[in-house]
Structure 1
Amino acid sequence: MSNTTLKPKDEAPLLLGRQKMLAWAILILLAIVWGSSFILMKKGLLVYPPLQVAALRVGFAFIFLVGLAVVRFRKVPKNKWKALFVSGLVGVFIPAFLFPLAQTHVDSAITGVLNALTPMSALVLGVVIFRQKTVRTKVIGILIGFVGIICLIFTNANGGVSFNAYALFAIAATVCYGFNLNYIKHYLHDMKSLDISVFSISLVGPFALVYLFASDFTTIYTHKEGSVLALVYIAILGIAGTAIALVLFNRLLQMTNPIFASSVTYLIPLVAIILGVLDKEEILPSHYIGMTITILGVWLVNRK
């Protein structure tokens, strides 16, 4: 009798502890998966041109999720299809093309740091386009982050000062992400996050595949050395870095809260930098200064 009485009290903290451990495990896994995305793009770009890398990434994510889309097709209200397509276009398709273009002239570690600008983009667009209110601390965070960006995009490989226009592709991708976050909040807030991820990818995936096979992809795959290994890297990028990561992130949001989930923003650049250094990318002191300033600005923007 005493064991039966004590069991619920003993198990509740245990279950809570397990859920907390699972949340941290998902957070760390997401940081590794998304932080690895930039080095995987770099490996894919050794063989395939940037637009094909992007099409392959979206295509693999589409193939992985299309079965789930078929099963859940009837759960989507008719008036949501247009918004889902816009979300897929701005939040998945366009950024997938912008990041490889950036990485043709920007190291993967730097691109990983620039990706952390997404919360800033979301805040600026939320205020300018969606008329959201903000506070002084967040405005200061944006200004500080802007200084960090300047340090990153104006530092050349020799440590001198020159403008790297290709970094603007990565910044444009974060603007797309920021717009998509606000767009989902305003137009898709009443849908399950899993359905938003599945159908936004499924609606734009066919366009990526059409472009891919209209290009010289099959010729490169057949004749260029290292094409199979590069394709494996991109498959991991599409399936793990896009499809599975979105599902995991949505699960993390359900288990915890947006503040905890958004902390992955600070871990992604760390993973990207470590992998970039291991791949013998040269990170200059001015880069580290720019990274630190940028992350500080992101922290102020995300601060409650």
Structure 2
Amino acid sequence: MNNQQQKWLYLIILSLVWGSSFILMKKALIGLTPIQVGALRMIITAIFLLIVGFNSIKRIQKKHWIYILYTALLGTFFPSFMFAYVVKGLDSSIASILNSFTPFNTLIFGAIVFGFAFKKKQVIGVLVGLVGTILLILKGADLNPDQNYWLASLILLASVGYAFNVNIVKKHLSDLDALAITTGNFILLLVPALIVLGFTDFYTAFEYTETNIESLVYITILSIVGTGIAKTMFNKMVHISSPVFASSVTYLIPIVAVFWGILDGEKLSYIQLIAGLVILFGVYLVNKAK
């Protein structure tokens, strides 16, 4: 399988996995607080990666660690807590839709800060995708006027972090394999996450009721599949494609997340379905070959 085929395969798989992550967060939050969800997600992922990727650590050179730290903080640590708070206060499908601003920020910051070139069709594609995203947000606000849409600012901040993360991986970590990057990220995050979890009284006050155990199962699935495995695949996709292509997975995630939201009783209108098609067209324009 060549790189062209691989990158599209990764895009589809990551869309399905990360599109499902929002409903997993929603279920985990039934028995856990947002801080606990964010911290446990990093701790469980770190343990998993230390088991499967420990040998990859030796491939990390001294020059890599500062950039691995940047990507760990901007691409995982802060967004993990931000998204947990957002999903607590907004429908999971709406949270995933707001995350679609990531490709726009990737393009802008990639050009301004990292000096990456981009094509006119990519800008048009990103703008088309944003139009679809705005339609989804506006209609979602109509359907759910009681929800706190100020939380959207947290996702916008997280999307900036994701934008820096993907550009840093492409520019400064392209000579390091994907598993080593991901394992390095979570080695650095393990101790801070354990400390943060301690401040929630999780170690002393957590009750192992049926509901809480189910929440732990959901966060474990999210950590291993939606974070550990998925982030490794994402870093690999960044290596074999462009930052804009890699970040365009956030345009496809809402399609899956909205589907899960409907199954869970969240509302969806025909206008939102049309907006989803607009988003897909934006992805096509961003990634259309010459």
Q: Secondary structure of 1:103's partner?
A: helix
Structure 2 gaps of 5+ residues are none
Structure 1 gaps of 5+ residues are 1-15
Q: Secondary structure of 1:99's partner?
A: helix
The match for 2:185 among 178, 188, 200 is 200
Task: Identify the residue that residue 164 of structure 2 maps to in structure 1.
Answer: 179
Task: Identify the residue that residue 77 of structure 2 maps to in structure 1.
Answer: 93
Q: Distance in 2 between matches of 1:132 and 1:23?
A: 19
Q: Which amino acid aligns with 2:105?
A: S
CA 297–58 in structure 1, closer or farther in 2 if over 3 Å, else same:
same
Q: Which amino acid aligns with 1:57?
A: R
CA 295–110 in structure 1, closer or farther in 2 if over 3 Å, else same:
farther
CA 54–161 in structure 1, closer or farther in 2 if over 3 Å, else same:
closer
- Spell out the pairing of 1:293-304 with structure 2 (5 A cutoff): 293-304=278-289
Residues 44-103 of structure 1: CA distance to partner in whole angstroms, max 9, x if unpaired? 111212121111111111111124554333322112211111111111111111111211
**Does structure 2 retain, via aligned residues, the 8 Å contact 1:116–1:298?**
no
- Alignment of 1:114 onto 2:98: yes
The match for 2:133 among 134, 138, 149 is 149
Q: Which amino acid aligns with 1:58?
A: M
The match for 1:275 among 235, 238, 260 is 260
- Spell out the pairing of 1:18-33 with structure 2 (5 A cutoff): 28-33=12-17
Task: Identify the residue that residue 71 of structure 1 maps to in structure 2.
Answer: 55
Q: Distance in 1 between matches of 2:64 and 2:203?
A: 36
CA 245–230 in structure 1, closer or farther in 2 if over 3 Å, else same:
same
Task: Identify the residue that residue 8 of structure 1 maps to in structure 2.
Answer: none
Deviation at 1:36, TM superposition (A): 1.0
Task: Identify the residue that residue 200 of structure 2 maps to in structure 1.
Answer: 215
**Does structure 1 retain, via aligned residues, the 8 Å contact 2:14–2:230?**
yes
**Does structure 1 retain, via aligned residues, the 8 Å contact 2:57–2:183?**
no
Task: Identify the residue that residue 33 of structure 2 maps to in structure 1.
Answer: 49
Task: Identify the residue that residue 105 of structure 1 maps to in structure 2.
Answer: 89
Task: Identify the residue that residue 135 of structure 1 maps to in structure 2.
Answer: 119
Deviation at 1:264, TM superposition (A): 4.9
Residues 170-228 of structure 1: CA distance to partner in whole angstroms, max 9, x if unpaired? 23222211111111122212212221111012211221121002212245531666111
**Does structure 1 retain, via aligned residues, the 8 Å contact 2:98–2:137?**
no
CA 117–186 in structure 1, closer or farther in 2 if over 3 Å, else same:
same
Q: Secondary structure of 1:191's partner?
A: coil
Q: Distance in 1 between matches of 2:152 and 2:276?
A: 14
Computing the radius of gyration over CA atoms, which structure comes out larger, 1 or 2? 1
CA 227–247 in structure 1, closer or farther in 2 if over 3 Å, else same:
same
Q: Which moved more, 1:32-41 or 1:134-143?
A: 134-143
Q: Distance in 2 between matches of 1:161 and 1:140?
A: 34
Q: Which amino acid aligns with 1:288?
A: L
CA 29–45 in structure 1, closer or farther in 2 if over 3 Å, else same:
same
* TM-score using structure 2 length: 0.84
Q: Which moved more, 1:157-166 or 1:143-152?
A: 157-166
CA 141–30 in structure 1, closer or farther in 2 if over 3 Å, else same:
closer
Q: Distance in 2 between matches of 1:271 and 1:202?
A: 30
Q: Which amino acid aligns with 2:46?
A: F
**Does structure 2 retain, via aligned residues, the 8 Å contact 1:153–1:167?**
no
Residues 247-304 of structure 1: CA distance to partner in whole angstroms, max 9, x if unpaired? 34456678x7569877755543222121111111111344334434344334433334
* TM-score using structure 1 length: 0.80
**Does structure 2 retain, via aligned residues, the 8 Å contact 1:221–1:228?**
no
**Does structure 1 retain, via aligned residues, the 8 Å contact 2:143–2:267?**
no
Q: Secondary structure of 1:104's partner?
A: helix
